[in-house]
Structure 1
Amino acid sequence: MVTTTPEALPRSVSTAAATGSASVRIATAPLDDLVAPARGRALLRHRLTLLGADALTALVATTVLVLLPAGTPEAGLLLTGLALLVLWPALLAAAGAYRPGAARPVLRAGTLLGLGCWIATAVELGPANGVWLIALTAVLMLGSLVVRRFAGRPQTRILLVGERSAVDLAVDELGRPGHSFVLAGVAADSAEGPDELADLAARSDADAVLALPAPELDPVQLRRLGWELERRGLDLYVGTGLLDVCAARTSPDRAGDLGVLQVRGSLRPGPRRLVKQVAERVLAGLALLVLAPLLLVLATVVRTSTRGPALFRQTRIGLDGRPFTMLKLRTMSVGSDRPDAALADRNESAGGVLFKMREDPRVTRVGRVLRRYSLDELPQLVNVVRGDMALIGPRPALPHEVERYAVDPLRRLAVRPGLTGLWQVSGRSDLSWEETVRLDLSYVDNWSLGLDARIALRTVGAVVSHRGAY
């Protein structure tokens, strides 16, 4: 027997035990908390939006194709352009480009269209018109990819099914932004069969069931659950148990008839690592040349405003636990970097490993301005040129912080620390220690040149907004 409670789902599920012998716990969020509309409508609207945008792209591109060439367009070219108005959306549909998150099908459809245009050029239209058709194919592909990039994914209402601990973690993750899943209900520690779970998903007005690891959901039960959901027009998602692993690192495979997921490492030596290291050193060297006058002015201001040197040198821990001397423009009075027991109880960083204060009395007036605009970090470009640091990477750690590291934070030392990184562009000092570690581990485990480029772009916004800079 299933017990249903209408209270809103908290960040961690805590539902009363069901009555009787059943071990199902259900919590259903009230309608105000459910962003997605009724089952299937969001997906239908999303597909219609994509279809309309693709048709409009084809119409505009075809019009340009017909009108741009000088003189009156040939009849064959005109008919081909009109045919593309129907052919392009049809090719996209056949390739599966109207499913959520489908980018590769657009490339497949474009390849088929380009092949067709090449054949038409060779057989009927001639080379001159063929150039326009190939250009049109490129425009259609680019337009459809841009449409999908801005349209995003439709929201999917899901019923969570699995062991209590796995469900609690999933509910917490679903509370974070950046995904398209909306919680419709929870069945924790369920002893119900596949047909009952499928009925429950339908009653919850869910689009799909997300099955998480649980002893009751063995391969046979999962297969039967998929059958029952298919009969009701619902989808099945199977949780892998992986956390903070990007899709680009995974690929499905098979071991006999058992489906498996390969997870590739991100830190293997290769040309990408060499490109990162060489490019960052070159860019840091060029930046030092360009910013040399500014650094000279800032160093002079620091040196003359308070007693002490302009540059602050501090030992930090770098790649593989090797210590190095990090450079910064001094923002505190001389000697303030040593631990102060009187300020220990004023630490605002949750977790106790880092020390952060919004109104730190040791910071000078000039230092507050430098920190607000991250100008005190500019001398670290020298560390990048030396190879001690990278332009992008985890936050450089102090020796006494590393001494307090548990197993997971030590993973941060597998790469060079960075002048900027996910921590810096996601809130900096406003983040708790746990959030800082998770961001850094996510960077290390999912590193790519593309991720570095995105962090570099976000750094500009982080510096302008001053969020967490104190």
Structure 2
Amino acid sequence: MATTTSLLTPRPVLAAPLAPELPARVRALRPSPAVVRATDLLAATAGTLLVQLPSPPPEPAVLLGVPVIWWFLLTWTSVPRAGLLLGLVGTLLATTGPAAVPPGRMLLLTLGLVAVALGTRRLAAAGGTRVVLVGDPTALDAASTELNRPGSRFAVVDQVPTGPGAVLAAGALADVAGHRSADAVLVLPGAGLDAAALRRLGWELEGHGVELYVGTGLLDVCAARTSSTRAGGLGLVHVRRTVHAGPGRLVKAVAERVVAAGSLLLLGPLLLALLLVVRLSSPGPALFRQTRIGRDGQPFTMLKLRTMTIGDERPHAELLARNEVGGGVLFKLREDPRVTRVGRVLRRYSLDELPQLVNVLRGDMALVGPRPALPREVEAYAADPRRRLVVRPGLTGLWQVSGRSDLSWEETVRLDLSYVDNWSLGLDLWIAARTVRAVLGHRGAY
């Protein structure tokens, strides 16, 4: 484990692993945000001039307009989306208006600008946005773990423990950031720095080209639900309430039932064949019916293809002792002896869950939502997990596309709560798209 840099106490504080020092050559090559934006404008201007040759003189409106539009698009959205929009607009103007830039050249210009923009941003983000954490020693490890998660755009390069009444030497944090080639300093809640100290810190970092972030203490709240505001001179973050009703929820309910009905019609022959295989492969009914807890704690009968030998639904003491999921609520066993040979194949490809489309059609479940819970699991719920019950459980969800049975109980709850609190139609579509990959990859399916 690495140790933090302490400006207040000689006692080191254990911390999560820190990002390595950047090589001097990489540090020297990393462009600043201002250089990145200037490169965007320069590339757009030079590219627009080139694609208008050899037909001089260049159109002034096009020569000025394309760089300005490109700069605006990059400010407003991501590089790939900006490239798509620029290509569409340019092609439309070239085919319907004066052909100052032929469609083929416009396509080449767009591809070139996207390549330049992606390249400069990748170079600027070499090693991620490198941050120095400043805060109470008890908060540093947790924040470092979150920031260093896979896919995060941040990399923690050092940690400075502080506390109530802390007094940092002038320029101390700027020196730490410079020594560690940091792009920013992140001050966590409870760091003990008052408004005046934060203001002075911003001044110090400004002179060294280092950004300042101030943590809000929020966790698993998506950016779409937050906005900054002010009350007098006090900066505030407004967290909008979760959407549990309204047009979006109505669209979700109707669309999911339509998709479920269409899927049942399309997959009907496959489902009938699977029912026959299960029925003939081992004694017992082909359909497995089990009571689960739905929205607002209401029980319903969930349907699945039977994957276990009949009468072995509840795990006995010997199996419970081998439970691979911590927390004492869920039971999962990678090599469960109760699962039949056919059942293992059905589980591996998630085919056992196809009858749940009937539950979606009935309105007991949703296509996307939290994992459907057993009554005995709900009885063991603390306050936080009960939040999962404010929406209908889903045939798939964040828990499935993130690992399913490989997840711990705490991770499962956190993913479900994040879904409930940050729900949107876009999130549902993202999960649905990722579900295909999760099913084909078989991760956590057992």
Tell me the TM-score normalized by structure 2: 0.84
Question: For the Cα contact (< 8 Å) 2:44–2:66, is it kept in 1?
Answer: no
1:384 aligns with 2:353: no
Partner of 2:281: 305
Partner of 2:406: 430
Partner of 1:264: 240
Post-superposition offset of 1:265: 2.3
Mean CA deviation greater in 432-441 or 40-49: 40-49
Question: For the Cα contact (< 8 Å) 2:47–2:109, is it kept in 1?
Answer: no
Q: 2:271 aligns with which of 284, 289, 295?
A: 295
Cα displacement string for residues 226-276 of structure 1 (whole angstroms, at most 9, x for unaligned residues): 011112221101111110111121111111111111112232422111111
Partner of 1:3: none
Partner of 2:255: 279
Question: For the Cα contact (< 8 Å) 2:7–2:161, is it kept in 1?
Answer: no
Partner of 1:349: 325
Q: Which amino acid aligns with 1:167?
A: L
Post-superposition offset of 1:27: 7.0
1:18 aligns with 2:12: no
Question: For the Cα contact (< 8 Å) 1:50–1:148, is it kept in 2?
Answer: no
Task: Write the distance in 2 (CA, Å) between the matches of 1:241 and 1:8.
Answer: 24
Task: Write the distance in 2 (CA, Å) between the matches of 1:415 and 1:306.
Answer: 36
Please list, as runs of the form range in 1=range in 2, the aligned pairs for 1:74-223 lying within 5 A after superposition.
78-80=58-60, 83-84=63-64, 88-89=66-67, 92=70, 95=72, 97=74, 103=78, 128-129=97-98, 154=125, 155-189=128-162, 191=166, 192-193=168-169, 195-214=171-190, 216-223=192-199
Cα displacement string for residues 385-412 of structure 1 (whole angstroms, at most 9, x for unaligned residues): 1111111111100010011111111111
Task: Write the distance in 2 (CA, Å) between the matches of 1:463 and 1:54.
Answer: 45
Q: Which amino acid aligns with 2:426?
A: G
- Percent same amino acid at aligned positions? 55
Mean CA deviation greater in 192-201 or 401-410: 192-201
Structure 2: gaps of 5 or more residues: none
Q: 1:420 aligns with which of 379, 388, 396?
A: 396
Post-superposition offset of 1:82: 6.8
Partner of 1:42: 30
Mean CA deviation greater in 49-58 or 303-312: 49-58
Task: Write the distance in 1 (CA, Å) between the matches of 2:5 and 2:313.
Answer: 45
Task: Write the distance in 2 (CA, Å) between the matches of 1:288 and 1:324.
Answer: 20
Task: Write the distance in 1 (CA, Å) between the matches of 2:25 and 2:176.
Answer: 18
Aligned in 2, Cα 1:28/1:241: closer, same or farther, shift over 3 Å?
A: closer
Tell me the TM-score normalized by structure 1: 0.80
Aligned in 2, Cα 1:437/1:58: closer, same or farther, shift over 3 Å?
A: farther
Q: Secondary structure of 1:129's partner?
A: coil
Aligned in 2, Cα 1:38/1:259: closer, same or farther, shift over 3 Å?
A: farther
Structure 1: gaps of 5 or more residues: 1-6, 68-72
Aligned in 2, Cα 1:66/1:441: closer, same or farther, shift over 3 Å?
A: farther
Aligned in 2, Cα 1:52/1:198: closer, same or farther, shift over 3 Å?
A: closer
Post-superposition offset of 1:166: 2.1
Q: Secondary structure of 2:59's partner?
A: helix
Task: Write the distance in 1 (CA, Å) between the matches of 2:182 and 2:5.
Answer: 21
1:8 aligns with 2:2: yes
Aligned in 2, Cα 1:309/1:25: closer, same or farther, shift over 3 Å?
A: closer
Q: Which amino acid aligns with 2:386?
A: L
Q: Secondary structure of 2:171's partner?
A: helix
Question: For the Cα contact (< 8 Å) 1:28–1:184, is it kept in 2?
Answer: no
Q: Which amino acid aligns with 2:162?
A: D
Question: For the Cα contact (< 8 Å) 2:40–2:117, is it kept in 1?
Answer: no
